[in-house]
Amino acid sequence: MKRDIKGLRHAREVEGHLQWLDSFTSAALGVLAVASGIYTYLGVRGLLDDDGALSLFAAVSYSAAVSTGIYVFWSYLLRLLPAMRTAAARMWLFLSMALGSAAIVAMSSWLNAAALAGSAAVEQHLARTVQEYQTSLERANAFALQGQALRLDVGRARQGFEDLSQQEAGGGLSGLAGRGAVFRVLMQKSDELAALEGLIAEQEAPVAAAFAEGNAILSRMRALTVAPGPVTARGVEFSEESVRLAGIIAELRQLSVAPMVDRAARDLAESVVLPRLDAGDAGGQAAQQATITSLLQLLAQRAETLQAAAAEVLALEPAAEVVYTPISKADAVIRYAGNFAPSWAGAIAIDLLPAVLVLIVAVAQGAVRAGRDPAEPEDSMTVAELRAAVLALREVEAAAPGAAWDPEDEETASEAEDGSGSPGAAGPRPGPRAVE
C-alpha cells in the first residue's frame, strides 16, 4: 500500500509537469512549422524560373501547406501516440510517424537544405566542372605534344635518306657516281619527310597558343566560381566561358599530328615513283635496280618504325569530352549532399525535432500509467473527485423514494471536504428524513 502511494505521488508529479509543458508545446510546434515553411518558400523560389505574381503565390501556397501539414501531423502524434496502451496500437502509430517523417523530408527538408546551402552547392558544381575542364585541357595538350614529339622520328628518317643520297652521289651505293635513278628515289623520300617535318613544326605555335588561351579561360572560370554576387548570374557567364573552352579543347585534339604521321608512314613505302634506269649499260642498270630494291626494303622498315611511333601516340587515352550542364540549387544540394552534411542535418532536424517530443511525452505518459495502475481507485481520487462523488451520492439518496434532501447534509459534506472535518470525524451523519 505504501508503495502504491509513492507511485501515485510520482504519477501526479509527472502529470503536473506535462500540464505545464503542454501550455507552450503548441506554440513551439507552430514556430518550428513556420520556420520550416519559410525555408521551404526560399527553396521553391529557387526552383521557379518565373518571378511573376503567379509564381510568388505558388511558392507561398506550397510553404503554407507544408507548415500546416507539419503542425497538424506532429500535433496528432503528440496527443495520440502517448495515449496508446497496447503494443499493436503503438506499433501502427510508430509506422505512421515513420511514413509521415519520410513525407516531410520529401516535401520540405530537401528544399530547406536548398535554401540553406543552395548557392554553395552550385559553386561546388562550378568548381568541380572547372577541375574537369582543366583535366581535359591538359590531356588534350599532352596528346598534341606527344604528336609533336614525332617530329624527331621524322627528322631522323629524313636525315638518313639525305645521307644515303650523298653517298649515292659519290657512287657509294650503286657504284655509279652522279645523280641517277637511285639518287632521285632517295631525294624523293627525303623531300616527302622534310615536308612532313615542316607540317609538324607549323603546328607547334597553334598548339601553344590554344593551350595558353585555354588556361586564360580557366582562370576566368575559377574567378567566377568564388566571385561575389548571385550565383545565377555568375552561372550564365560561366556557361559562356565553358563553351569557349570546349572549342579550345576540340581545337587541340585536331592539332595533333599523330594521325597525319600515321598516314604518311603508310604512304612512305607504298607511294614510290620509280624513275627510269639511266645507266649506260646493262650492268649499270642491273646495279641500279638492285640498289632500288634494297632502298624499297629500307623504306618499308622506316615506314614501320614511324607507324609504330604514331600508333603509340594514338593509343594514348584521349581527353574526355566535358560538357557543362547548368544545375539548380536543389539539384546541386542533392548531388553534392556529402559535402553539405551539416546543412542537411539542420534542414531535417527542424522538421523532425517534434519526433523527440513525441517520444518524451510517450515515456512520461507510460510513467504516469505505471504509477497509477497498482493503486486502488479510491486511493487515486483527488479532492475535486471526492467532492463530486459525495455530491452525487447525496443526489442519489435525495432521489430515493420516501427520502428528502436536507441542505444541512450538503453543508456537512462540504465542511468535511474543505478540511473542517474529516470523514468519520464529524460523528454519524443523519440519513434522509422522511417527508411528513
pLDDT in tens, 260-281: 888 888 877 666 656 666 555 6
- The C-alpha cell of 128 is what? 568541380
216: pLDDT strictly greater than 90 = yes
Residues 243 and 291 in one domain: yes
Mean pLDDT of 275-290: 66
H helices present in 149-203, as ranges: 150-169, 181-202
- The C-alpha cell of 183 is what? 639518287
Residues 170 and 272 in one domain: yes
381: pLDDT strictly greater than 50 = yes
Number of neighbours of residue 172 by Cβ within 10 angstroms:
11
Residues 28 and 168 in one domain: no
436: pLDDT strictly greater than 50 = no
Q: Which of 14-18, 221-225, 257-261 has the lowest mean pLDDT?
A: 14-18
- The total of structural domains in the chain comes to 3
Residues 105 and 156 in one domain: no
Given this model, what pLDDT does residue 387 score?
80
- 422 band by pLDDT with thresholds 50, 70 and 90: very low
Mean pLDDT of 232-256: 89
Residues 243 and 186 in one domain: yes
Residues 42 and 107 in one domain: yes
Mean pLDDT of 234-255: 89
CATH code, domain carrying 146: 1.20.1260
373: pLDDT strictly greater than 50 = yes
Given this model, what pLDDT does residue 382 score?
65
C-alpha 32 chain-centroid distance: 26
Q: Which residue pairs from 44-50 have beta carbons closer than 8 angstroms and sit at least 24 positions apart in sequence?
A: 44/111, 46/114, 46/115, 46/118, 46/328, 46/329, 46/330, 47/111, 47/114, 47/328, 47/329, 47/330
- The C-alpha cell of 199 is what? 607540317
User: What DSSP designation does 433 have?
Assistant: B
**Angle CA 370–376–378, to nearest 5:** 125
> Between these two residues, 17 and 223, which has the higher pLDDT value?
223
Alpha-carbon distance of 291 to 176, in angstroms, equals 11
Residues 72 and 205 in one domain: no
Closest CA to 66 of 94, 34, 21: 34
Strand partners, 318: none
Given this model, what pLDDT does residue 10 score?
66
Residues 38 and 13 in one domain: yes
Closest CA to 75 of 367, 357, 366: 357
Q: Is the dihedral of CA 158, 163, 166, 172 positive or negative?
A: negative
Q: What is the mean pLDDT of the chain?
A: 79
**Angle CA 38–40–42, to nearest 5:** 75
Residues 286 and 243 in one domain: yes
Alpha-carbon distance of 258 to 147, in angstroms, equals 5
50: pLDDT strictly greater than 70 = no
Given this model, what pLDDT does residue 434 score?
37
420: pLDDT strictly greater than 70 = no
Residues 261 and 204 in one domain: yes
Residues 83 and 224 in one domain: no
b/e 53-82 (16+ beta carbons within 10 angstroms → b): eeeeeebeebbeebbebbbebbbebbeebb
Residues 363 and 404 in one domain: no
| Residue where a domain stops, chosen among 372, 394, 421 | 372
Query: Domain range for residue 421?
Result: 381-436
- The C-alpha cell of 121 is what? 552547392
User: What DSSP designation does 411 have?
Assistant: H
> Between these two residues, 366 and 422, which has the higher pLDDT value?
366
H helices present in 53-180, as ranges: 53-80, 87-104, 110-148, 150-169
Given this model, what pLDDT does residue 307 score?
82
